[in-house]
Amino acid sequence: MIKRSIIALITSAAFVSTAFAGTLVINFDDPNPAPKAGFEAAVAAFEAANPDINVTVNINDREAHKTAIRNFLSANAPDITSWYPGNRMGPFVDAGQFEDISDLWASDENLSSNFEAIKPTMTRDGKQWGVPYTYYQWGVYYRADVYADNGLTEPATWDELLANCDTLKANGITPFTIGTKYLWTAAGVFDYLNLRTNGYDVHNALTAGEIKYTDDRIKATFANWETMLERCSFIDNHATMSWQEAIPPFASGDAAMYVMGNFAVAAFKDAGLTDDQIGYFPFPEITPGMPRAEEAPADAFFIPSGAKNKEDARKFLSFIARPEIQAAWNKTIGQLPPNSKSAINTDDKFIVEGFATVSTAAGLAQFYDRDAPAEMAKGGMEGFQEFMIKPERLEDILKRLDKIQDRVYK
């Protein structure tokens, strides 16, 4: 008797989980408090607007998600998963594991008109594959109080930046902090130097493998970097530090500037700094008159081709493209909404400045390790780190990068 009722229970449970067509499974990649709250609020709003759809959410740690996605896309695909645009979505698009949603981009009122700036990074082979829900600016974060104490102002040009560095060094302050143990922070500096020296098109051509690293234009970028290493020193021992471990010198005022993404502001505040002590300026102009491009990596949602409920998945993607949803979500996580009609949080000065910076940019780069294929990115970033420690090896490093490039893009 008991046995029978247990069997009945199990079968009914199995029945329940498959019975309703309106079950939507979403895999999300950030369990930190703010991103989780933002995501869950959006899901709750979606459920309220679509009472017949029952959403199941799986939240995984970001690093775990990066590994797990390779299994769950083929073995047990959810209806929606978070992932990253640019070259990061490349392997899955090429393997046919993401659903082509160009039709949604063409028909949806928001996607068709308010996402022009970010559309290229969601595009591969002329089709769109995902919907971005957030992005954030990069730039130079600096200690406003340290700047004021030394009589400095935000630099708009390369020469002004170098002059500021001279003053800071003369007063015993290291101009820049950085932690390159995990390599990508060095790529942020390279991206900006290259974007400012050669512009967006040359930078894109480099990460697309169309220009060699030994090209004179790229060498000019490294020459500027060498100047920066000499006159604007970075803190010592950066190769042993993560980006978080590089914050204490910044918080103590021993270092004045940090080339970083906006997510670092929360960490600065955790280290004891207040809004008034932190300032932001876009990376200064190097080549006069060069149109200003910015780093602005986006996060997005994709529909796996193995999804069971693609119809409701499209509904969800269309829903999160709405301006009011993107506004609320990004207010919670302190980032920028990709929908250009969406309101930004005007109480956050970094968001206001960041929005002014990226919305007027001539082009948006996704970051070196998303714009370049993974293997090139790894080799390139190791080269950048080596260059920062041993600038005299430049020739050798660039030749090595050319060799990797020859193989990766063949």
Partner 1 sequence: MADNFDTRSNRSWYSRNRQKIAPWIFLAPALIFFTVYVVAPIFQSLWISLYEWNGISEAKWVGLDNYVELFDDRRFYISLENNIIWLVLYMLAVPAGLFVALFLNQTIMGMRFYKSLFFFPFVISQVVVGLIFSWFYNPSFGAVGIIWEYFGAVPPSILGDERFVTYGIIFAGLWPQVAYCMILYLTGLNNVSQDQVEAGRLDGAKGWKMLRYVVLPQLWPATFLAIIVTVIGALRSFDMIAIMTQGGPYGTSNVLSYFMYETALSEYGFRMGYGSAIAVMLFVIMLFFISYFLWVMYKDEKGER
Residues that bind partner 1 (CB under 8 A): 63, 66-67, 70, 73-74, 91-92, 94-95, 97, 180-183, 236-240, 369, 374-375, 377-378, 382-383, 385-386, 389, 400, 407
CB of 370 to partner 1, least distance (A): 11
CB of 37 to partner 1, least distance (A): 26
Q: Which is nearer to partner 1, 76 or 237 (CB)?
A: 237
Residues 6+ positions from 337 with CB-CB distance below 8 Å:
133, 134, 323, 326, 327, 329, 330, 343, 344
Cα 297–Cα 134–Cα 279 angle in degrees, nearest 5? 70
CB of 207 to partner 1, least distance (A): 14
Q: Which is nearer to partner 1, 32 or 240 (CB)?
A: 240
Cα gap 62→75, rounded to integer Å:
19
- Among residues 195, 204, 193, which one has the least CA distance to residue 234? 193
Q: In the Cβ-directed half-sphere of 162, how many Cα atoms lie within 13 Å?
A: 13
CB of 173 to partner 1, least distance (A): 16
CB of 187 to partner 1, least distance (A): 11
Cα gap 67→363, rounded to integer Å:
31
- The neighbour count for residue 408, using CB atoms within 10 Å, is 16
- Among residues 188, 164, 159, which one has the least CA distance to residue 174? 164
Q: In the Cβ-directed half-sphere of 132, how many Cα atoms lie within 13 Å?
A: 29
Q: What is the CA radius of gyration of the chain?
A: 23
CB of 66 to partner 1, least distance (A): 6
CB of 79 to partner 1, least distance (A): 19
CB of 278 to partner 1, least distance (A): 22
Q: Which is nearer to partner 1, 219 or 400 (CB)?
A: 400
Q: Which is nearer to partner 1, 27 or 357 (CB)?
A: 27
Q: Report phi then psi at 382, rounded to 5.
A: -65, -40
Cα gap 16→4, rounded to integer Å:
18
Residues 6+ positions from 105 with CB-CB distance below 8 Å:
111, 112, 115, 119, 122, 128
On whether the CB atoms of residues 211 and 205 are closer than 8 A, the answer is yes
